[in-house]
Amino acid sequence: MKTREVLILQGDGIGPEVCHEAKKVLEHINDTKDLGITISESAVGGCAFEEFGSPLPEKTLKLAQRSDAILLGAVGGPSWDNLDYDLRPERALLGLRSELDLFANLRPAILSKYLSDSSSLKPEKVLDLDMLIVRELTGGIYFGEPRGRSDTNESAFNTMVYSKNEIERIGRVAFEAAQKRNKKLCSVDKANVLEVSVLWREVISDLANEYPDVHLSHMLVDNAAMQLVREPKQFDVIVTGNLFGDILSDIAAMLTGSIGMLPSASLNSKNQGLYEPVHGSAPDIAGKGLANPIAAILSVAMMLKYSFSLNEASSDIEGAIQEVLSAGYITHDLEGNNNKKLSTSEMGNKIIEKLI
């Protein structure tokens, strides 16, 4: 059996807590199903800066490059807000994405039927919500050059750049995802004011000719943001650029009741992936046992599916989570019976119970 190498990067804030529970689940299913997974760990983010003077130490990057998949908790926090741009914890994320060419970010927004009361929208608006946002992750304004400040420090600038090839490859990921779902794709841009978005729309439209079974529509990003909170179930798969995807996926996250419920996958062309919960480091609740580990655990399920093609093991984890929720067990970020609110570690243990 081929050894599957997984690197865990706990990061900052609640990252270590949610990663601990996700690791427990991964170790359990690895042992019971003999999946051949080996696990290593390394430092990243603010804690790595404190120890090594860099948010992405060379040792961590080398481990990441040779791993088949990476599980990351969260990075950042107010302790490092005043660092120079290149030393901030968030630069570790951008560095990993760039160095590993993790260009395709998959962010599902699925509402469990047991959590409809936790959504910020009326239950009938979100019942059976199941959508996927495909975000381009290594281009756009976060990586565009030039960027910086003027010599007088009176202005700052960033550059949004996309090439035809970058748009085509993320477009193919989105079209293929739509083919496996409901054959419906919405491309989101700002083509009424941005030249980059005009090119984006042209390339995606041309690509649609190769996928005649998929219905393609286009929507401006401001309208898409409004439609997500007006009629979210009109969407199935959304494809968009780096900046717009960052914003829209967080909006979609709250439709599901809590940002603590949503995983994500960032993949390169070899299906090497970085898997992480959508939520941030939440330093205000770190160490209190209040963090929801489900997004991190679901990130493990995505890892098993997308990087290792272990669909049965992935489904087992998803099913165990649904069993726990159906029994009324929740974490402190969710709405429900206070008598069944679990701590971070209790939720992890309860999910493992359902896996046995």
- Reported for 122-128, long-range contacts at CB under 8 A and 24+ positions apart, including other chains, are 125/231, 125/232, 125/233, 126/232, 126/233, 126/255, 126/256, 128/233
Residue carrying the six token digits 């804690």: 47
Q: Yes or no: say if 111 and 334 are a contact pair by the CB < 8 Å rule.
A: no
* 31, 81, 222, 284: the active-site residue: 222
Phi, psi of 276 (to 5 degrees): -155, 150
Q: Which residues contact 189 (CB under 8 A, 6 or more apart)?
A: 197, 200, 201, 218, 220, 221, 240, 241, 244
**Using only C-alpha atoms, what is the Rg of the chain?**
20
Q: Yes or no: say if 216 and 205 are a contact pair by the CB < 8 Å rule.
A: yes
What number of CA atoms fall less than 13 Å from residue 338's CA on the CB side? 0
Q: Is 190 a catalytic residue?
A: yes
Q: Is 250 a catalytic residue?
A: yes
* 23, 190, 305, 350: the active-site residue: 190
* 233, 250, 341, 354: the active-site residue: 250
* 142, 211, 275, 306: the active-site residue: 142
> For residue 267, with 0-12 CB atoms within 10 Å meaning exposed, 13-18 middle and 19 or more buried, which class applies?
buried
Q: Which of 177, 159, 199 is nearest to 105 (CA)?
A: 177
Residue-wise DSSP of 297-343: HHHHHHHHHHTT--HHHHHHHHHHHHHHHHTT-B-TTS-S-GGGB--
Q: Is 142 a catalytic residue?
A: yes
Q: Yes or no: say if 5 and 67 are a contact pair by the CB < 8 Å rule.
A: yes
Q: Is 246 a catalytic residue?
A: yes
Helices in 102-259 by DSSP H: which ranges? 123-126, 164-179, 195-207, 221-230, 242-255
* 246, 275, 305, 329: the active-site residue: 246
Q: Is the peptide bond before 212 cis (omega within 30 degrees of 0)?
A: no
Active site residues: 142, 190, 222, 246, 250
